[in-house]
Amino acid sequence: MTLEGLRQDIDRIDARILALLDERLEKGLLTRRHKTGTLDQSREAEVLDRVAKRSKCLAGREYTEALYRRIMAESKTAQDRDLKLVGFQGMHGAYSDAAAREWNHEAATIPFQEFSQVFDAVLAGDLDYGVVPVENTLGGIVGQVNSILVTTELRVVAAIDMPIHHCLLAAPGTDHRDIRTAYSHGQALSQCRRFLERNKLDGVVWFDTAGAARMVSEDRPKGAAAIASRFAAELYGLDIIKEGIQDSAANRTRFFVLSKGANGVGGNKCSAVFFTNDKAGALFSVLEVFAKAGINLTRIESVPDEPGDYAIFIDFDGSDQDPRIAGAIEAARAQVRDFRMLGCYDERKL
């Protein structure tokens, strides 16, 4: 046991405390959707009583009670601000989190473990919006998200197209020559394959890029680093050993912003999904409708739905408030099964 080792332990504990404080405040914001007001004296008394009963060690009853009164006061302040809640899949510091913050700097971003949980929370009204990745220039479509989009009742109200810059992150003071292992999401590892090979690093799949960064920050495994964003490095107090380690500079991800209702604004892009009839040339006939109307299709993707059946996603420039676009939509709807507009919206390219 050394002074430096003890200080490193304290740094790890501080990181966990801050993460837990954020999580507690986020849960408080979510509970606000299920209450008529922020003041609930019986609940506060219950929390303080439980804390008092557990204050048996160095953190005595007087200290913990004062601490929790302050935490609950901060939670009420946050709830009274009536922040917009935006959900994303992953942990804070994930690229989806960064996209959500770019879209709305004043919103509170709330992490979820699964994409389906983000969709469900928006549909239930627990969240105002959800931000999900749709496609990546290197990895292609995000299958889980597109599969849910086939049937969801949610609408696309915005899109963000942003560059993905991966960084090699390590705990403060780490000598880059000692790094042997890099933890990250499988897709991020594949996007940095040449960098890993050049530097003789073993890639280890983790559930999330930001989750890998948080793990390295808190657990500090020997000889380990994480591949994640600069945002994650700042959030978890990690050193950036090398920035821009992705194999291609053209690494970009497109994100949809989802809501229960349409945004009421025409926007500059539209998205739709449909099923073609089981006959030759069915897809061509739909695409021909847009071509004849002079409408630029920016995305055409097929996603497996039921065995032998594929959902077709299309994005196109324009707004359904434009009569030319509206006419093409109606003509396309007559050619296919279950043609459904996902939304018309403004897309931002960062």
Mean pLDDT of 62-84: 92
pLDDT digits (tens, 9 = 90+) for 48-59: 889 888 888 898
| pLDDT score for 16 | 86
**3-state DSSP assignment of residue 116:** helix
7-12, long-range: CB < 8 A, 24+ apart = 8/220, 11/237, 12/217, 12/218, 12/219, 12/220
Last residue of a domain, one of 46, 80, 114: 80
* CB count in 10 Å sphere of residue 167: 25
Nearest to 273 by CA among 330, 313, 331, 309: 313
Name the band, by pLDDT with cuts 50, 70 and 90, for residue 262. Answer: confident
pTM of the shown model: 0.91
pLDDT digits (tens, 9 = 90+) for 86-130: 999 999 999 999 999 999 999 999 999 999 999 999 999 999 999
Last residue of a domain, one of 53, 80, 107: 80
- Same domain? For 220 and 286 the reply is no
Name the band, by pLDDT with cuts 50, 70 and 90, for residue 266. Answer: confident
Domain enclosing residue 321, as ranges = 264-349
- Same domain? For 239 and 301 the reply is no
Q: How many domains does the chain have?
A: 3
- Same domain? For 214 and 280 the reply is no
Is residue 152 in some structural domain?
Answer: no
Name the band, by pLDDT with cuts 50, 70 and 90, for residue 155. Answer: very high
Q: Which residues are catalytic?
A: 253, 255
Secondary structure (H, E, C), 179-232: CCEEEECHHHHHHCHHHHHHCCCEEEECCCHHHHHHHHHHHCCCCEEEEECHHH
Is residue 138 in some structural domain?
Answer: no
Is residue 109 in some structural domain?
Answer: no
CB 252 within 8 A of CB 160: no
Is residue 117 in some structural domain?
Answer: no
- Same domain? For 216 and 273 the reply is no
CB 89 within 8 A of CB 115: yes
Last residue of a domain, one of 210, 243, 276: 243
CATH code for the domain in which residue 292 is found: 3.30.70.260
Distance CA(341)–CA(330), nearest Å, equals 11
Nearest to 72 by CA among 33, 108, 45: 45
* Residue that has been written with the tokens 């994100």 in this structure: 255
- Same domain? For 51 and 14 the reply is yes
Mean pLDDT of 328-343: 93
Distance CA(139)–CA(67), nearest Å, equals 46
CATH code for the domain in which residue 175 is found: 3.40.190.10
- Same domain? For 337 and 276 the reply is yes
Is residue 49 in some structural domain?
Answer: yes
Name the band, by pLDDT with cuts 50, 70 and 90, for residue 38. Answer: low
Question: Which phi and psi angles does 258 have, rounded to 5°?
Answer: -110, 145
